[in-house]
Amino acid sequence: MAITRDEVLHVARLARLELTDDEVERFTGQLSAILEAVAKVSELDLSDVEPTAHPLDLVNVWAEDEPRPSIPVEDALANAPDREAGFFKAPPA
Amino acid sequence: MNWEPVIGLEIHIHLKTRTKMFCRCEVAYSEPENTRTCPVCLAHPGSLPVPNAKAVEWTIKLGLALGCRIAERAVFHRKNYFYPDNPKGYQISQYDEPLCVDGRLVVPGPDGEPEVGIVRAHLEEDAAKNVHTGSAQGRIAGASATLVDFNRAGTPLVEIVTRPDLRSADDARRFLQLLRQTVVELGISDAEMEKGSLRFDVNVSIRPQGSDELRTRTELKNLNSFAFAAKAIQREVERQTGIYEAGGEVEQETLHFEPGTESAPPLRSKEEAQDYRYFPEPDLVPLQPPAELVERVRAELPELPGARILRLAADLDPDTATDLVTSGRDALFERVPGDRRAVANVLMNQFAAAGVDAAAVDPEELGKLIEARSRIPRERLIEALAASGTPGFSADDYLGDGLMADTSELEPIVDRILEANSGQVEAYRGGKEGLLGFFVGQVMRETRGKADPKVVNELLREKLSA
Amino acid sequence: MIDTLRLTAEEAMGLIERGEASAAELHAAYLDAIRDRDGELHAYLRTVDEADGGGVPIAFKDVISSRGVETTAGSKVLQGYVPVFDSTVAARCREAGLPLIGKTNMDEFAMGSSTENSAYGPTRNPWDPERVPGGSSGGSAAAVAAGLAPWALGTDTGGSVKQPASLCGIVGLRPTYGTVSRYGIVAFASSLDQVGPMTKTVRDNALLYRIIAGRDPCDTTTVELPQPVELPEREDLKGIRVGVPKELNEAEGIEPGVKEAADRTIELCRELGAEVGETTLPRSVEYGLACYYLVAPAEASSNLSRYDGVRYGLRVEGESGVRSMYERTRDAGFGDEPKRRIMLGAYALSAGYYDAYYGQAQKVRTVIAQEHAAAFRSFDVLVSPTSPTVAFRLGEKAENPLAMYLSDVLTIPSNMAGLPGLSIPCGLSEDLPVGFQLIGPQFSENTLFHVGHALERAIGFDVVPGRLQ
């Protein structure tokens, strides 16, 4: 197996996905097959090759420190699943 | 066995740019919640970061002030983790290609001038503010929630990491003071712990004196003042010493301090090593600071506090030199003529207590005053210092021989004061005896501190009880 | 009565200019056509009743934010999410006066090649409703092909504009990376995503590209076009050097009917005056898929972390504590394909694996870019079929992720290098459209439009599906 059940549980945890047992089983098989296929990249000896940082050779793109209007608080909260006054509300951290 | 502490610091400084690091929302200080936000700092789907040019420039400025090499090429990385104050689920930070590396800060102290290595200084964005609350509206007691305010999310932060070169709690405190002073004088941050614009964590371990091993360290987090940090570090050093001397092993732990719980032992936790899955930020292109920019910033650096302390320490002890610089009185010190130690002493003590603006003082006159200070009464010196910031101040007015004790000279002055303050006279006679001090002060002011307080007191009592 | 089946955007523009139809009338005609035909096809997720603008109406893939219009990215995790801001491409279309017809269906978070991964049900191919329209921009492709929109915007990461264009018999451009803003586009893979026009003709495509392209200060990965977009006029290919990379044209899995149609089109290039020669991309095709399926999921795993139920979208309460809410929300909100890719991506980035997986894949990318650059020293455009197959049946590959991934084997390599690609319909195989892919160097869209237009004229492909005529 290119990836074990435990490793699947680990990455699911890292990604905050609560998988059912059925999902874990199914995904372990599928991810294994995919990983085996993508591991193909390691066939190449690329020790002298630079990784591609960006498709274009751009550097130093930034903006002046000039303010632009923020959005109204009602817009900020417009899609909030839960709120309290002007705050976003979430279960305790 | 002699043990030596091995202390390193990780400091976060909030840059006081007008706008956030990756969007142009105005940085908020105390605005109503979620009124300084936009799709970018709220991490709405499809939003993209745009770096703040000033923040980059100021990070370079700080790096140069700390003797760092400015990277030819620097890259932003994503640091991935989940938390309600982290809206993208990743923080844009820097990883193995930071903007500034390999610096040093010389921190003068009683044991010489230890050089503290700066491993790196990099640029990143701050998280939002979580408010953990009990539930409102009379719901079940014990229920709670996290309320999140994104005003702070995206504020530019510089993270500075030192080498573990600090060898005592006091060293650490001095380092922090000097760093803070430097940052404030560069004009890039207010660096105030109470406002949250300076935060730091400390790594502490110990080792046998003379060895160069690095043993297990503990991390102290959320310390809220330099003084408290020094105490906490000292306690931790002692704790670790006790463990090793009893033949035990120090465990890797994080100690969480809470504001207001200085006397309580900290909460200990073993933080799981987090896998942040750093990778270069694909939404941002690399930084290649142009040489002209770096050189211009370097040329514009003022004489930094560290250098000034070193200069002053040629004539003074390091603590006094440091105090003068960190209190902002060193510029005045350099202009006031006279014995260095005497001038420093007065500036840091009586002058400081007088609360006078150093910039308003005529240094020559102050120098005269200080030189003569042992020849005049204490109250007169205090009077004089208090007046030293007023335009036209002349030391001579307060010098000269003896006290004015002649009642014939003092009586008219006392009468004048009483006449001019009939309201207070009535109040005094009505029972407010504390007002005597007020009248004494008025006379002293009239006579520029030269009146003999005993005589003044007697005269006043006589006239007031009449 | 406006015949939306056949109407091109350029023709619609003419109608408006000559006062023969108003934008509102056109808009209404498309809504009528949608009522008529979209029940079967399900190209649209929602329509917009009011025609806001005086120009040619347009459809957007539901990954493109339009202020005030629900945008789901084909996922339950964004059900009900209404953006409070316009994407830059939406703003540019709005400035050009193009009224929005509606938001089209897509594979969830643009992950897929058939639109079967939509959380809202699949879209059907107008040429054969038992077959997929391709993906992930299947809704936009089907809408244009079925006359439910004169033109549309899709997005392309691994081929998600080119491949559905191919399967639906229309024209699709994947622009040079960095020429169209991603601001407001729900992100899948940041270093690969590009918005692309999907149209009935190559000229329409150039017209739409001209409206949306150009540097955006809100997206620091964009650049100005070095030259203005030209509307193609020439119908010959004299002076054009056409390269035929053998690895792209002989890849495993290319159906005979597809190969035949592509080969005929290559011959047509010669007839139109092009110099045609064979070339090679030694490792780009062999390693392209593996490279893509490391880079894209890695970036996606991070881009999708913001869907946590705190500020917008779906929230499913957990037992106690925010972590449980995250886990339940994300498990309920994401379909299988996003989950697979998130986990794959997290794995490829995780401590100990980064160098071998993500790090190595970014190096393979450099190799792919170098191989294409080498080929472009001798050729102006490289050609191949767009998709190895014609439209396959619904359900045929849905259970087999790897089989589905192979649909992109021909579109992926040039994407990894940030290069533009235009797909034009070049014929039929088994009565289903075959797409022909034109790949150019960076910023060569004008060349692609020229070649595409000349071929389009010569081929005379009828973009209206037989069964709808």
Query: Could you tell me if residue C402 is inside a domain?
Result: yes
Give the Å distances, CA to CA, from C223 to A58, B82, C373.
9, 33, 20
Candidates B56, A78, B15, A50; CA nearest to C220 is B56
**Given C220, C301, C312, which is nearest B284 (Cβ)?**
C220
| pLDDT higher than 80, residue B266 | no
Query: Could you tell me the two tokens for C232?
Result: 């193609």
Q: Please state whether B147 falls in left (phi above 0), alpha (psi between -120 and 50) or beta.
A: beta
**Given B277, B283, B285, which is nearest C346 (Cβ)?**
B277
- Residue B285 to residue A88, Cβ atoms within 8 A: no
- In whole angstroms, what is the distance from residue C89 CA to residue C180 CA? 8
Angle, vertex CA A80, rays to CA C117 and CA C344, nearest 5:
35
For A23, name the nearest residue in chain C, comparing CA atoms only. C336
- Residue A59 to residue B39, Cβ atoms within 8 A: no
Average pLDDT over residues C288-295: 97
Q: Which residue has the tokens 């040429």?
A: C127
User: A43 contacts in C (CB within 8 Å)?
Assistant: 287
- In whole angstroms, what is the distance from residue A6 CA to residue A70 CA? 45
* Residue B39 contacts C, CB cutoff 8 Å: yes
Question: For chain C, how many structural domains are there in total?
Answer: 1
| pLDDT higher than 90, residue B209 | yes
3-state secondary structure of B329: coil
User: C73 contacts in A (CB within 8 Å)?
Assistant: none
For C302, name the nearest residue in chain A, comparing CA atoms only. A15
| C409–chain A nearest CA distance, Å | 13
Average pLDDT over residues C195-209: 98
The C-alpha torsion from C284 through B283 and B120 to B169, rounded to 10°, is -130
Give the Å distances, CA to CA, from B439 to B414, B419, B428, B431, B447.
8, 11, 10, 15, 12
- Band of pLDDT at residue B260, cut at 50, 70 and 90: low
Supply the DSSP string of C120-131, one letter for each residue.
T----BTTBTTB
- In whole angstroms, what is the distance from residue B277 CA to residue B346 CA? 56
| pLDDT higher than 80, residue B272 | no
- Residue A92 to residue C321, Cβ atoms within 8 A: yes
CB-count burial class (<10 Å; 0-12, 13-18, 19+) for C236: middle
Task: Provide the pairing of β-strand C194-199 with B254-256.
Answer: unpaired
| pLDDT higher than 80, residue B259 | no
Average pLDDT, chain C: 97
- Sheet containing B279-280: which strands, arranged edge to edge? B90-93, B77-80, B279-280
Give the Å distances, CA to CA, from B335 to B367, B397, B398, C248.
9, 21, 21, 80
C-contacting residues in A 37-56 (Cβ below 8 Å): 37-44, 46, 49-56
What sign has the CA pseudo-torsion B396, B398, B401, B405? positive
Segment B97-107, tens digit of pLDDT: 999 999 999 98
* Block mean pLDDT (10 aa), chain A, length 93: 92 94 95 95 95 92 98 97 96 89
| C404–chain A nearest CA distance, Å | 11
Candidates C144, C5, C30; CA nearest to C466 is C5
- pLDDT for C46: 98
Segment C441-455, tens digit of pLDDT: 999 999 999 999 999
Segment B364-421, tens digit of pLDDT: 999 999 988 887 878 888 888 888 888 888 888 777 665 677 788 888 889 999 999 9
The domain made up of B407-465 has a fold known as Arc Repressor Mutant, subunit A (1.10.10)
| pLDDT higher than 80, residue B131 | yes
From the candidates C305, C328, C416, which should be mutated to test the interface with B, based on the most B CB atoms within 10 A?
Answer: C305
As assigned by CATH, the class of the A1-43 domain is mainly alpha
Please report the number of interchain residue pairs, chain A to chain C, with beta-carbon separation below 8 angstroms: 179
- Band of pLDDT at residue B440, cut at 50, 70 and 90: confident
Which residues lie closer than 8 Å to A70 by C-beta, 6 or more apart? Answer: B25, B26, B35, B36, B37, B38
- pLDDT for B126: 97
H helices of B300-362, in order, are 305-312, 318-326, 330-335, 340-346, 352-354
- Beta bridge partners, B111, equal none
User: C443 contacts in A (CB within 8 Å)?
Assistant: none
Expressed in angstroms, the distance from the first to the final Cα of chain C is 16
User: C71 contacts in B (CB within 8 Å)?
Assistant: 45
Candidates B9, A54, B458; CA nearest to C223 is A54
**Given B45, B84, B90, which is nearest C310 (Cβ)?**
B84
Longest Cα pair distance anywhere in chain C, in angstroms? 70
From the candidates A3, A13, A17, which should be mutated to test the interface with C, based on the most C CB atoms within 10 A?
Answer: A17
Domain that holds residue C396: 9-280+369-468
- In whole angstroms, what is the distance from residue A11 CA to residue B89 CA? 15
Supply the DSSP string of A56-72, one letter for each residue.
S------B-S---PPPP
**Given B48, B89, B146, which is nearest C306 (Cβ)?**
B89
- In whole angstroms, what is the distance from residue B373 CA to residue B391 CA? 21
Average pLDDT, chain B: 90
Average pLDDT over residues B429-457: 85
Query: Among B28-37, B430-439, C425-434, which range has the highest average pLDDT?
Result: C425-434
Residue C329, φ and ψ in degrees, nearest 5: -60, -50
- In whole angstroms, what is the distance from residue C125 CA to residue C146 CA? 9
3-state secondary structure of B451: strand
Q: Which residue has the tokens 């593996």?
A: C290
3-state secondary structure of C428: strand
User: A14 contacts in B (CB within 8 Å)?
Assistant: 275, 277
- Residue C322 to residue A55, Cβ atoms within 8 A: no
- In whole angstroms, what is the distance from residue B162 CA to residue C356 CA? 31
- pLDDT for B448: 78
Q: Spell out the domain ranges in chain B.
A: 3-297, 327-402, 407-465
Q: Which amino acid is at B458?
A: E
| pLDDT higher than 70, residue C232 | yes
Candidates B388, B389, B400; CA nearest to B447 is B400
Query: Could you tell me the two tokens for C383?
Result: 């050609």
| pLDDT higher than 90, residue C92 | yes
What sign has the CA pseudo-torsion C81, C298, C376, C259? negative
Point out the least confidently predicted range of B69-83, B124-138, B247-261.
B124-138
DSSP H or E segment with residue C247: helix C246-249
Query: Could you tell me if residue C342 is inside a domain?
Result: no
What sign has the CA pseudo-torsion C250, C256, C260, C262? negative
Expressed in angstroms, the distance from the first to the final Cα of chain B is 77
Average pLDDT over residues B237-254: 93
3-state secondary structure of B171: helix
Contact C439, C419 (CB under 8 A): yes
| pLDDT higher than 50, residue C247 | yes
User: C319 contacts in B (CB within 8 Å)?
Assistant: none
- In whole angstroms, what is the distance from residue A41 CA to residue A39 CA? 5
Residues of C forming the active site = 61, 136, 160
| pLDDT higher than 90, residue B451 | no
- In whole angstroms, what is the distance from residue A74 CA to residue A79 CA? 9
For C327, name the nearest residue in chain B, comparing CA atoms only. B82
For B79, name the nearest residue in chain C, comparing CA atoms only. C302
- Residue A34 to residue C310, Cβ atoms within 8 A: no
- pLDDT for B136: 47
- pLDDT for B220: 94
- Residue C83 to residue B284, Cβ atoms within 8 A: no
- Band of pLDDT at residue B268, cut at 50, 70 and 90: confident
Contact A90, B135 (CB under 8 A): no
- Residue C369 to residue A63, Cβ atoms within 8 A: no
Candidates B152, B158, B13; CA nearest to B84 is B152
Point out the least confidently predicted range of B181-185, B268-272, C24-28.
B268-272
Which residues lie closer than 8 Å to C49 by C-beta, 6 or more apart? Answer: C31
User: A32 contacts in C (CB within 8 Å)?
Assistant: none
Supply the DSSP string of B240-302, one letter for each residue.
HHHHHHTT--PPP-EEE--TT-TTSPPEEE-PPPP----EE-TTSPPB---HHHHHHHHHT--
User: A27 contacts in C (CB within 8 Å)?
Assistant: 339-340, 343
- pLDDT for B299: 97
**Given B148, B279, B285, which is nearest C349 (Cβ)?**
B279
CATH number of the domain within which C412 lies: 3.90.1300.10
- pLDDT for B391: 85
- In whole angstroms, what is the distance from residue A46 CA to residue B204 CA? 41
For B18, name the nearest residue in chain A, comparing CA atoms only. A65
3-state secondary structure of C66: strand
Q: Which residue has the tokens 């197959």?
A: C389
Other CB atoms within a 10 A radius of the CB of residue A40 amount to 17
From the candidates B18, B285, B293, B294, which should be mutated to test the interface with A, based on the most A CB atoms within 10 A?
Answer: B285
Q: Which chains touch B (3 or more CB pairs under 8 A)?
A: A, C
User: Could you say which DSSP state residue C204 is in?
Assistant: H
- In whole angstroms, what is the distance from residue C399 CA to residue C410 CA? 21
* Residue A84 contacts B, CB cutoff 8 Å: yes
- In whole angstroms, what is the distance from residue B137 CA to residue B261 CA? 29
Contact C196, A33 (CB under 8 A): no
**Given C73, C191, C346, which is nearest B282 (Cβ)?**
C191
Global ipTM: 0.96
- Band of pLDDT at residue B193, cut at 50, 70 and 90: very high
Q: Spell out the domain ranges in chain A.
A: 1-43
- Residue C325 to residue A11, Cβ atoms within 8 A: no
Candidates C389, C398, C381, C402; CA nearest to C451 is C381
- In whole angstroms, what is the distance from residue A66 CA to residue A64 CA? 6
- In whole angstroms, what is the distance from residue C353 CA to residue B282 CA? 19
- Residue B279 to residue C302, Cβ atoms within 8 A: yes
- Band of pLDDT at residue B137, cut at 50, 70 and 90: very low
Query: Could you tell me if residue C332 is inside a domain?
Result: no
The C-alpha torsion from C201 through C203 and C204 to C209, rounded to 10°, is 130
- Residue B148 to residue A88, Cβ atoms within 8 A: yes
Report the number of secondary-structure helices (H) and strands (E) in chain B.
Answer: 15, 14
Q: Which residue has the tokens 């980064």?
A: C354
User: B272 contacts in C (CB within 8 Å)?
Assistant: none
Instruction: Identify which has the larger pLDDT, B255 or B45.
Output: B45
**Given A61, A67, A76, which is nearest B18 (Cβ)?**
A67
